[in-house]
């Protein structure tokens, strides 16, 4: 049996990669030593941190208050559920 055109088993001519366009082994990284790569890495970290939009003091206080309030509510909810299940288990099992 012959495969249909564009079948997975038979690659199309357009899918083939010419030999001239294959990536070189190593690339730019192979030319730099480990210390230069580490320095480049840290320079990139600092550049990315400069792009960050940091929250203002009021925003930070507001966000912190919301998180603490939410955590307190969740602690209370879990405590109430635990207390109720504890008493239900004592009632059922004596």
pTM: 0.48
Q: Give pLDDT, residue 32.
A: 78
Closest CA to 37 of 25, 47, 29, 45: 29
The SS3 call for residue 28 is coil
Q: Enumerate residue ranges in the chain where pLDDT < 70.
A: 1-30
pLDDT cut 90: percent of the chain above it? 62
Dihedral through CA 6, CA 9, CA 13, CA 17, nearest 10? 130
Q: Give pLDDT, residue 31.
A: 72
User: What's the CA gap between 94 and 92, in Å, rounded?
Assistant: 6
| Residue pLDDT, tens place only, 25-49 | 555 555 778 899 999 999 999 999 9
């Amino acid at each position: 049996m012959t495969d249909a055109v564009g079948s997975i088993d038979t690659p199309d001519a357009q899918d083939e990669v010419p030999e001239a366009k294959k990536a070189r082994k190593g690339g730019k990284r192979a030319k730099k030593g480990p210390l230069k790569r580490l320095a480049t890495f840290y320079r990139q970290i600092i550049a990315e941190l400069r792009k960050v939009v940091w929250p203002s003091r009021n925003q930070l206080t507001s966000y912190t208050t919301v998180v603490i309030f939410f955590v307190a509510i969740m602690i209370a909810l879990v405590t109430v559920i635990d207390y109720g299940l504890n008493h239900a288990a004592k009632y059922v099992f004596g």
